[in-house]
Amino acid sequence: MTEEYDLVITNGIVVSATQVQECDIAIKNERIARILPRGQLQNAKTTRTIDAQGGYVTPGGVDAHVHLQEPPLFGKGSTADTYETGSRSAICGGTTTMVTFAPQKKSEDTLLETLATTHERAKNNCYNDYSFHLLVGNPSARALSEFKTLRDEGISSLKIYMTYEALQLHDGQILDVLLEARKQGITTMIHAENNHVINWMTTQLEKRKLFAPKYHGPSHPPVAEIEATYRAISLSEFMDTPILIVHVSTPQAAAHIKAAKDRGLPVFAETCPQYLFLTKRDLDQPGFEGAKCVCSPPPRSSESDCDAIWDGLADGTFTILSSDHCPFKYDDPEMGKKSSITEEHPVGRFKYIPNGCPGIETRLALTLGAGRLELTKFVEVTATNPAKLYGLYPRKGGLVEGVSDADLVIWYPEGKMEEFALKNEMLHHDVDYTPFEGRVMKQWPRYTLLRGKVVWDRENGGLLGEKGYGQFVKREESSLAKPLKEGEWEMPL
Ligand code: URP
Ligand code: ZN
Ligand code: ZN
């Protein structure tokens, strides 16, 4: 073997979305150069060798649902993490690529300015590679006309909301977005909750003087998600446009999605660790503590809801598992969770608690450590599918020789990591809590590599990556989400 490599990883168990194999990996010029059966790179010339000692080697995580440096949109507060701190947290948890949101406010009528502003926020600040979904708050004629340019700029997905006053689109606006997205090969992500149901329940709860954080749960009842999910699927079917329903939390919404998929519709869905690991008990904590787990949709009633979401990951109902990292500080009376506390409401007022939880660093380790998914499924939903769905594959999310970036996570050999109880102080975000405090962690990335560079080495220095090494990645059209029929949408007459 004459070729000289930058790095060789030996003795790993290499896991892709389809295979688990004992292989060695050679890296050159930031890419995966060779993957060969164990031992075959033994005599290769290389600048550096890492012995994986029998640990799993997986593609670096792709987290396709991340909120950083956003203005107040989901309640009073604004997101705590910057591009710097959020992306730093990402690589320490094995996420080498993130797709964040570029939020257009209702008061703005252009998306291109939103994109430019978001590029400014991210540029030279990221530890990992990144792209953006446009978050469309105002589908004005101008904004719709800009979809084509967005595609040229490497943006092939957007998110819209059926709830939140600051962002909600009505059904006619949703159809406008879906039609234009279809034309331009853009995938539409939908936050599916019925705003009227949420507002009505909120009024009912407040009339009864029920203000504590735990009432966030009943203010977002399952029916709000179930109805909106079915409506979103119906609008997508009518327009023959692919959609992805984000952060699905209820078994019944999952059942609507599964039925749509079984009918062959291009309907995709995401879930998040919150819906695998948290329940309403986490919201029902003494005093204001439950605010730490206020997110929308909320954690649901019981472990059986979580079990149904795990089943949906295993059976393909959910295509991807994202963090929905939407961080607000807890102990921050101006911009954080405590901004909802007043003298009159010492345990806050649930309707003013900013919605969202941090989780970019814990997504992979929590999910792998739970041991509930096949290894290949774990890789599929946390790396390969998000890359395919959002037009990043095979550069990201895969292990394709000569093509994929050498973005890798080397895990501890099975049973060889000393288990630990998670503490927020171990994490690298700029948030003063984690909703997963105290969870027993059975895995953690031993190393994270981004384009061949070791950016996290848990045993030797921890964070080694540098701010600014992360690059913007232009995205192609989704390789998973396509309309059923080619050509222009045909109006049913
Ligand atoms: O609670 C959540 N999910 N935060 C708001 C951001 C979102 O995805 O809707
Ligand atoms: Zn959402
Ligand atoms: Zn979100």
Tell me the average pLDDT of the chain: 97
Closest ligand 1 atom to 65 CA: 8
Does the structure show a pLDDT above 90 at 34?
A: yes
- The reply to whether ligand 1 has any atom less than 6 angstroms from the CB of 193 is no
Which pLDDT band, with edges at 50, 70 and 90, does 280 fall under? very high
Closest ligand 1 atom to 296 CA: 1
What distance in angstroms lies between residue 303's CA and the mean position of ligand 3's atoms?
23
Closest ligand 1 atom to 164 CA: 9
Which pLDDT band, with edges at 50, 70 and 90, does 471 fall under? very high
Give the residue, out of 67, 244, 246, 363, with the most ligand 1 atoms within 8 A of its beta carbon, to mutate for a pocket test.
67
Residue nearest to atom 4 of ligand 1 (CA): 356
Give the residue, out of 355, 357, 363, with the most ligand 1 atoms within 8 A of its beta carbon, to mutate for a pocket test.
355
Report how far residue 67's alpha carbon sits from residue 100's, in angstroms, rounded to the nearest whole number: 6
- The reply to whether ligand 1 has any atom less than 6 angstroms from the CB of 68 is no
* Residue 422 contacts residue 438 (beta carbons within 8 Å): yes
26 token code pair: 């050679």
Q: Can you give the pTM of this predicted structure?
A: 0.97
- The reply to whether ligand 1 has any atom less than 6 angstroms from the CB of 291 is no
Average pLDDT over every residue of 300-319: 97
Closest ligand 1 atom to 246 CA: 8
Terminal CA-to-CA distance of the chain, rounded, Å?
Answer: 65
Residue nearest to atom 8 of ligand 1 (CA): 324
Residue 99: per-residue pLDDT: 98
Closest ligand 1 atom to 74 CA: 5
Report how far residue 168's alpha carbon sits from residue 231's, in angstroms, rounded to the nearest whole number: 14
Does the structure show a pLDDT above 90 at 222?
A: yes
Residue 415: per-residue pLDDT: 87
Which pLDDT band, with edges at 50, 70 and 90, does 398 fall under? very high
Report how far residue 112's alpha carbon sits from residue 78's, in angstroms, rounded to the nearest whole number: 22
What distance in angstroms lies between residue 190's CA and the mean position of ligand 2's atoms?
7
- The reply to whether ligand 1 has any atom less than 6 angstroms from the CB of 296 is yes
Residue 71: per-residue pLDDT: 84
pLDDT digits (tens, 9 = 90+) for 325-372: 999 999 999 999 999 999 999 999 999 999 999 999 999 999 999 999
Residue 264: per-residue pLDDT: 97
What distance in angstroms lies between residue 197's CA and the mean position of ligand 2's atoms?
16
- The reply to whether ligand 1 has any atom less than 6 angstroms from the CB of 88 is no
pLDDT digits (tens, 9 = 90+) for 447-457: 999 999 999 99
Ligand closest to Cα of 79 equals: 1
60 token code pair: 């670096």
Which pLDDT band, with edges at 50, 70 and 90, does 1 fall under? low
User: For a pLDDT cut of 90, what percent of the chain falls above it?
Assistant: 97
Give the residue, out of 70, 74, 293, with the most ligand 1 atoms within 8 A of its beta carbon, to mutate for a pocket test.
74
**Beta-strand pair 4-15/187-191:** unpaired
Which pLDDT band, with edges at 50, 70 and 90, does 5 fall under? very high
Residue 350: per-residue pLDDT: 97
Omega within 30 of 0 (cis) for the link into 394: yes
Which pLDDT band, with edges at 50, 70 and 90, does 75 fall under? low
- The reply to whether ligand 1 has any atom less than 6 angstroms from the CB of 70 is no
What distance in angstroms lies between residue 415's CA and the mean position of ligand 2's atoms?
36
- The reply to whether ligand 1 has any atom less than 6 angstroms from the CB of 295 is yes
What distance in angstroms lies between residue 379's CA and the mean position of ligand 2's atoms?
23
pLDDT digits (tens, 9 = 90+) for 437-447: 999 999 999 99
What distance in angstroms lies between residue 283's CA and the mean position of ligand 1's atoms?
16
Residue 289: per-residue pLDDT: 97
Residue 78: per-residue pLDDT: 74
**Beta-strand pair 20-28/4-15:** antiparallel
What distance in angstroms lies between residue 353's CA and the mean position of ligand 1's atoms?
12
Report how far residue 51's alpha carbon sits from residue 282's, in angstroms, rounded to the nearest whole number: 40
Residue 72: per-residue pLDDT: 82
Average pLDDT over every residue of 50-59: 98
What distance in angstroms lies between residue 269's CA and the mean position of ligand 3's atoms?
13
- The reply to whether ligand 1 has any atom less than 6 angstroms from the CB of 356 is yes
pLDDT digits (tens, 9 = 90+) for 8-30: 999 999 999 999 999 999 999 99
* Residue 68 contacts residue 99 (beta carbons within 8 Å): no
What distance in angstroms lies between residue 471's CA and the mean position of ligand 1's atoms?
25
- The reply to whether ligand 1 has any atom less than 6 angstroms from the CB of 249 is no
Residue 342: per-residue pLDDT: 96
pLDDT digits (tens, 9 = 90+) for 238-271: 999 999 999 999 999 999 999 999 999 999 999 9
- The reply to whether ligand 1 has any atom less than 6 angstroms from the CB of 146 is no
Does the structure show a pLDDT above 90 at 2?
A: no
- The reply to whether ligand 1 has any atom less than 6 angstroms from the CB of 28 is no
- The reply to whether ligand 1 has any atom less than 6 angstroms from the CB of 324 is yes
What distance in angstroms lies between residue 299's CA and the mean position of ligand 3's atoms?
14
